[in-house]
Amino acid sequence: MHAIVKSRPGPGFDFLLDAPDPQVGPADVLVKVAATSLCGVDRHVYDWDQAGQAFVPTLPRIPGHETAGVVIEVGAAVQSISVGDRVALESHLVCGSCMECRTGNAHLCSRQTILGLSRDGAFAQRVAVPASACYPIPDGVSLEEAALFEPAGVAVHALQRAPSLLGQSVLVSGCGPIGLFLIELARIAGASRVIATELSPGRRLLAERRGAITLDPAAVDVPTEVARLTPRRQGVDVAFEASGSPRALGPVLESVRVAGDVVTVGHPGAVSVDISKLINVRYLTLRGVFGRRLWETWETLGELVSTGRLELAGFIDDRIPLDALPSAIAGIGDSGKVLVIPEDRS
């Protein structure tokens, strides 16, 4: 089959015409990939920077983890999924038996593998996954929209971790795709105003089109501007940090009102923060997010999309064929989501 492969250490991907077909175990299904969305993680793997090397433990590896398609084969033990089913795939593949899985936190499974990173992924014509990782796509939702369920689910999970946003002011730090999803979802959830910070002019424009008030953190002091925009409370009620920048968390914490809430979505690594000054004395609540709750997040997102409350097609900026990915990925920057479409040669 055709596939993109990270064959060796160093920058780049290879496009293979003759990659071996995935092996389908008794509990697995084989999915014919319809579309796979590019993620920032894929760029790290392509560049083979420090983050990319941490993400992928062994090579060679087929990347790609935000995906949807049609089931074309099921393993002998599979009963819940049938050939012909349209499915979106959960990228965190869990064991089902560890303490986290057995106590309602399967998304934090201590033995999980991740599609496209520690297991071959979906930048290919076909991908094999456990049947338990399949989410049946609701009627009326396209396969291209379903390919965005995995990243959009991170934003939904962030809102599930936050208090009610009804009538609340919200700050979103970082206007990449996750940040844009957060802006849209905050408005759906009833936020009174959404303020967004972003260095890129192109991404600020995308945020403004979704109703956000935008700030350039390189041009203004973010906490001062946020206080000006929220004069009664001198800060937002809830903030979401989605940039992953180590420099962003301090200003985000300073931009939240006393007794407000902060949800961290990005992964900045080690960050120096004055906990006494910015959290304890100001009585802030800080929560983290990783992946999607299984399967509450998916069901909530499915309802929002299938009923038209959240329109995912508008987040898709471009579509490229599989063989164009190695040359195109380096130029992908300020756009919305880019879908990789495998050529249909079954």
- Provide the percentage of residues in the chain whose pLDDT is more than 70: 99
Mean pLDDT of 22-32: 98
Task: Answer whether residue 137 is part of any domain.
Answer: yes
CA distance 227 to 257: 9
User: Does residue 38 share a domain with residue 104?
Assistant: yes
Q: Residue for token digits 């985000």?
A: 252
- Average predicted confidence (pLDDT) for the chain: 95
Domain that holds residue 144: 3-148+312-341
User: Does residue 242 share a domain with residue 203?
Assistant: yes
Task: Answer whether residue 301 is part of any domain.
Answer: no
Cβ(215)–Cβ(197) below 8 Å: yes
Per-residue pLDDT band at 322 (split at 50, 70, 90): very high
User: Does residue 277 share a domain with residue 163?
Assistant: yes
Query: Closest Cα to residue 191, out of 217, 212, 167?
Result: 167
Beta carbons within 8 Å of 277's beta carbon, 6+ residues apart:
none
Task: Answer whether residue 209 is part of any domain.
Answer: yes
- Whether pLDDT at 334 is above 60: yes
User: Does residue 191 share a domain with residue 79?
Assistant: no
Angle at alpha carbon of residue 7, lines to 132 and 328, rounded to 5°: 85
- Whether pLDDT at 336 is above 60: yes
User: Does residue 137 share a domain with residue 55?
Assistant: yes
pLDDT value of residue 345: 43
- Whether pLDDT at 236 is above 80: yes
- Whether pLDDT at 199 is above 90: yes
Per-residue pLDDT band at 327 (split at 50, 70, 90): confident
Mean pLDDT of 7-17: 94
pLDDT value of residue 144: 98
Per-residue pLDDT band at 344 (split at 50, 70, 90): low
User: Does residue 62 share a domain with residue 104?
Assistant: yes
Mean pLDDT of 31-50: 93
Task: Answer whether residue 47 is part of any domain.
Answer: yes
pLDDT value of residue 346: 41
Task: Answer whether residue 43 is part of any domain.
Answer: yes
pLDDT value of residue 329: 87
| Of the candidate ranges 7-11, 290-294, 330-334, the one whose mean pLDDT is the lowest | 330-334
User: Does residue 138 share a domain with residue 40?
Assistant: yes
Task: Answer whether residue 225 is part of any domain.
Answer: yes
- Whether pLDDT at 94 is above 90: yes
Residue 93 forms beta bridges with which residues? 113
Report the CATH number at residue 193. Answer: 3.40.50.720
User: Does residue 187 share a domain with residue 207?
Assistant: yes
Task: Say what the alpha-carbon torsion angle 187, 188, 190, 193 is, to the nearest 10 degrees.
Answer: 0
CA distance 192 to 236: 10
Task: Answer whether residue 162 is part of any domain.
Answer: yes
Query: How far from chain centre, in Å, is Cα 10?
Result: 25
Q: Residue for token digits 């420099």?
A: 247
Report the CATH number at residue 120. Answer: 3.90.180.10
- Whether pLDDT at 81 is above 90: yes
Task: Say what the alpha-carbon torsion angle 334, 335, 337, 343 is, to the nearest 10 degrees.
Answer: -120
The sign one gets for the Cα dihedral 278, 280, 282, 287 is: positive
CA distance 229 to 221: 12
pLDDT in tens, 99-150: 999 999 999 999 999 999 999 999 999 999 999 999 999 999 999 999 999 9
pLDDT value of residue 311: 96
- Whether pLDDT at 76 is above 90: yes
User: Does residue 140 share a domain with residue 14?
Assistant: yes
User: Does residue 247 share a domain with residue 225?
Assistant: yes
Mean pLDDT of 158-172: 98
pLDDT in tens, 239-267: 999 999 999 999 999 999 999 999 999 98
User: Does residue 75 share a domain with residue 29?
Assistant: yes
Domain count, the chain: 2
Beta carbons within 8 Å of 275's beta carbon, 6+ residues apart:
none
pLDDT value of residue 247: 94
User: Does residue 160 share a domain with residue 139?
Assistant: no
Task: Answer whether residue 293 is part of any domain.
Answer: no
